[in-house]
Amino acid sequence: MKIFPGSSPLLLPLAPTIAGTIANYLQSIAQKIFEPLSHNCDNVVPKLSPLGGHWPFEQSLKLVTSSPYQYVSTIAHRLAAKSSFTPVEICHHLQPPIGDAIDPRSCLELGCWFNDAGYIYFELTPRSIALWLNYIHDLPLIIAPSPGQFLAPTIAIYAHTRCCSVLQLAQSEKLVTITADWQLSTADLSCLENPSTAELRSIFDCPAQQRLIHALMAVLDGIYSDNLRFVSPQLPSGIVRPDPIAQIRSPNWTKLTLDLAQSWLEFYRDCRIFGDVQRQNPRLAIARCGLTAISRRYLQVLLENYLGLN
């Protein structure tokens, strides 16, 4: 594995999803990479073919299922197909476009590297996961037109109900205060700010929590990538973008919903909130309530907006 020169870790401004954050970075480097390379090589294609907005970069990213909080991108292969360079040659010229003016407190911190096959990997640090979870807790959502009616998994309805029960119990135990829309109060969220590295690792090292956060990452990526099917980015004059709806496949909403429901149920079974955890480590208990509130919110979004459950 090769670490990007001068970019360990990489700081990227936070976008609505982690995939979107990385896609913005990939787009910016793709726009810059060809010109300097072409000056050093006579046998090159005059310019890269138009890549058509952000959606190819979103499509080039996949969550790595075998390792938590990792994405892999094939963008070097996509760029290589449009030029005379190999994927690894392109990887060697990738540079972070982040300047000094960016506030690191609002950036995702990612470890970045590529392998000898030209696949680029991005891995979130625990601090970035905490930042992102706080961000999506009450993130305003733009919902694309519903694809239609699907069969809502019974287990998802059950998991949503259990999330509500857990949050009600946490409020009755005076552990957290729940707002009218089932979110944690501002005071609860503020007490989770600036946790130590040890606290972050205790929150995110549990395998069940890792699976739940992984499921949330997939859900948010699905919602925002689906929105791209209905958004036409500005392209240079004379360039016609193919029909985005035909090019971007809608996510499997039933599977995303089922995965999130099962992940939260496993999380609640394996990761205690009440009892000794509440007494000995209240910040950890509040963080797990926050994960429950986030899971409840996106289960509701999936059930009502994508599976047609009223």
pLDDT for residue 104: 65
pLDDT for residue 19: 86
Residue 179 above 50 pLDDT?
yes
Query: Mean pLDDT of all residues in the chain?
Result: 78
* pLDDT higher at 169 or 43: 169
Please, what is the angle between helix 282-301 and helix 126-137, to 10°?
A: 50
Q: Which two tokens stand for residue 222?
A: 């699905």
Please choose, from the candidates 207, 271, 220, the residue with its C-alpha nearest in 3D space to the C-alpha of residue 66: 207
At 27, the pLDDT band (50, 70, 90 cuts) reads confident
Full-model pTM: 0.83
- 3-state secondary structure (DSSP) of residue 10: strand
pLDDT for residue 22: 86
Q: Which two tokens stand for residue 238?
A: 């004379």
Residue 309 above 70 pLDDT?
yes
pLDDT for residue 5: 46
Q: Where are the alpha helices (DSSP H) in 48-125?
A: 55-59, 75-81, 87-92
Give the pLDDT confidence of 103-160 residue by residue, as tens digits: 666 788 888 888 888 899 989 888 888 888 888 988 888 776 665 556 778 999 999 9
pLDDT-above-70 percentage for the chain: 70
Give the pLDDT confidence of 91-104 residue by residue, as tens digits: 877 665 554 446 66
Q: Which two tokens stand for residue 229?
A: 């099917």
CB 65 within 8 A of CB 103: no
Residue 11: φ, ψ to 5°: -105, 120
Average pLDDT in the 234-253 region?
A: 52
Cα gap 212→221, rounded to integer Å: 14
pLDDT for residue 215: 95
Residue 153's alpha-carbon distances to 94, 96, 258, 278, 303, in angstroms, are 43, 42, 6, 32, 9
Average pLDDT in the 30-34 region?
A: 68
Residue partners of 154: CB distance under 8 A and separation at least 6 = none
CB 233 within 8 A of CB 54: yes
Which of 4-8, 34-38, 43-47, 121-125 is predicted with the least confidence, judged by mean pLDDT? 43-47
* pLDDT higher at 296 or 307: 296
Average pLDDT in the 30-42 region?
A: 57
pLDDT for residue 33: 65
Which of 39-43, 156-160, 182-186, 291-295 is predicted with the least confidence, judged by mean pLDDT? 39-43
Residue 233 above 50 pLDDT?
no
Residue 190 above 90 pLDDT?
no
Residue 11 above 70 pLDDT?
yes
Which of 1-5, 83-87, 222-226, 265-269 is predicted with the least confidence, judged by mean pLDDT? 1-5
At 269, the pLDDT band (50, 70, 90 cuts) reads very high
